[in-house]
Amino acid sequence: MNGLYIGSFAHALGAQKRHLRESAEAGLLRSAPQDLEAAGFGWHHVCDPDGTAYDLARAAVAQIAARGDLSDVDAIVYATCLPDAQTGSGPVRDVKDLMDFPAGRLQAEFGMSRAIVVGLHQQACTGVLGALRVAGALLATEPGWRRVLCVTADRFPAGAWYEQAYNLISDGAAACVVGRDPDMCRLLSVHQISNGGLGRAGDDETVGTYFAYTHRLVREAAARVGMTPAELDWVVTQNMHDKAWQILARLLDVDHARVWAPTLADVGHVISADAVVNLSALLDSGQARPGQRIAVPVAGFGLNWQCAVLEVAR
């Protein structure tokens, strides 16, 4: 991925901000609220009843469009965790209705007429990093292309539990641009591990596998850019139980003070978007310096693990 950059970060969250105790009283959580609070969670964001995943995606992309023209975007890579939930519920007579694809709607709404569309799912919460990898591959094989818009958006269906594997879930979307022109970070590598045999694992089994696979993932991702985990300047994580990275930091010989997830209590786990939310917060904080290396590891059902390695460019 030499010569590729990532920037123009944006995100959007469900319109209703709820405390987890409110959602517990409404029957939307599986764990006792005090257990989720002990894990570091506090608030999450839920769409209005008529809100859709597309509304979230459009809101995130609109922020990027407000900063500059998107007409020169060459491709849109759209990652979603719950593709069936994007189209609503009820019987389907004309399957054409299921092909009202959100990426195509973004293309039309924001005037990206030259862009091709690539849909990506079946990578669960890791899909946003899969989008970065696909964007890098597209730019590598299309020398005339310059910019790829990456988008992830999900909204849980009505009646669903807003908790998965002991994590408090928010509806939300995130977007960014991968391109050849210098931007916030250089995109050095994206590494992925999948184990489909664990696709139907229960929550306890999922948690049990998390540490071994994430340990392997970060070591292998760092090695791809000639580093050890201890040499990483930052590790930006998804929003999950705050004890998890206290353990992993010791196992990986990473300074826990450099593990970054500042939006955990206020935002919750935004499916595939919260790693982008946390990365944007780090870059906006001014604490990341040019030349520093950032690992962004994310785990998801499937079971999938992905880790991007970035270098701060400015």
**pLDDT tens digits for 102-113?**
999 999 999 999
Q: In 3D, which of 37, 57, 34, 39 has the Cα closest to residue 47?
A: 57
Closest C-alpha among 272, 304, 207 to residue 77: 272
What's the predicted TM-score (pTM) here?
0.94
Q: What are phi and psi of 302, to 5 degrees?
A: 135, -45
Amino acid 90: pLDDT: 59
**253 has a pLDDT exceeding 60:** yes
State residue 293's pLDDT score. Answer: 98
CB 116 within 8 A of CB 74: yes
Question: What pLDDT sits at residue 183?
Answer: 96
Least confident of 110-114, 127-131, 215-219, 302-306: 302-306
Beta bridge partners of 6: 178, 185
Mean pLDDT of the chain: 93
pLDDT score recorded for residue 71: 94
Decide if pLDDT at 87 tops 60.
no
All domains of the chain, ordered by start, with CATH? 5-179 (3.40.47.10), 185-312 (3.40.47.10)
Average pLDDT on 27-34 reads: 96
Length of the chain: 314
Beta-carbon contacts of 297 under 8 Å, excluding residues fewer than 6 positions away, are: 214, 217, 218, 221, 235, 237, 305, 306, 307
Read off the pLDDT band of 88 (50, 70, 90).
low
Q: What is the pLDDT of residue 23?
A: 98
Q: What is the DSSP letter of 196?
A: G
Asked whether residue 134 carries a pLDDT value surpassing 60, the answer given is yes
Q: Which of 241, 233, 247 is nearest to 296 (CA)?
A: 233
Question: What is the pLDDT, as a whole number, of residue 219?
Answer: 98
Q: What is the pLDDT of residue 201?
A: 73
What is the average per-residue pLDDT within 147-156? Answer: 97
Residue 68 makes CB contacts below 8 A (sequence gap 6+) with 8
Q: Label residue 96 by pLDDT band (50, 70, 90).
A: confident
Choose among 56, 270, 51: nearest CA to 151: 56
Residue 256 is given by DSSP the state: G
Please check the confidence at residue 313 and state whether its pLDDT lies above 90.
Answer: yes
